[in-house]
């Protein structure tokens, strides 16, 4: 015999609030800007190592300054791409899906 007195199927679905979507979009845009800035720093550091004139004036005159720019550029690129992917994954989650455990859902991303 089933006891369904306390069961409410509407509790399985999350509340529909559209307030968090714009925050994720702004965060994704900022992460994309960090990734773009990381690429630019990476290219400026690589230009000094290749013997081209310094792209940032006196900021990367020596090879140690160029290596710092390369490392900072790689870190910003890596962090920006990871942040953008995380925000994009959270944006793409459907609000109307059942609130199930993440390991039971299909791996799409």
Phi, psi of 7 (to 5 degrees): -90, 130
Task: Give 70-98 pLDDT, tens digit per residue.
Answer: 999 999 999 999 999 999 888 887 555 55
More confident residue, 38 or 61: 38
Q: Helices (H) and strands (E) in the chain — how many of each? A: 2, 0
Mean pLDDT across 6-20: 64
Residue 34: CB partners within 8 Å, gap ≥ 6?
76, 77, 79, 80, 83
pTM of this structure: 0.65
Task: Give 37-50 pLDDT, tens digit per residue.
Answer: 999 999 888 888 88
Mean pLDDT across 62-71: 85
Cα Rg for the chain, rounded, in angstroms? 23
> 41 and 65 in contact (C-beta within 8 Å)?
no
More confident residue, 44 or 103: 44
Res 22 pLDDT > 80: yes
- At residue 53, the pLDDT reads 64
Residue 63: CB partners within 8 Å, gap ≥ 6?
48, 49
Residue 36: CB partners within 8 Å, gap ≥ 6?
80
Res 21 pLDDT > 90: no
């Amino acid at each position: 015999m089933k006891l369904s007195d306390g069961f409410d199927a509407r509790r399985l679905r999350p509340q529909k609030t559209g307030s968090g979507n714009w925050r994720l979009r702004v965060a994704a845009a900022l992460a994309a800007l960090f990734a773009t800035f990381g690429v630019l720093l990476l290219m400026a550091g690589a230009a000094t190592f290749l013997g081209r004139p310094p792209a940032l004036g006196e900021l990367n005159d020596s090879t140690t300054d160029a290596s710092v720019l390369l490392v900072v550029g790689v870190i910003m690129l890596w962090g920006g791409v990871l942040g953008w992917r995380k925000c994009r994954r959270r944006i793409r989650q459907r609000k109307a899906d059942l609130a199930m455990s993440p390991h039971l859902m299909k791996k799409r991303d």
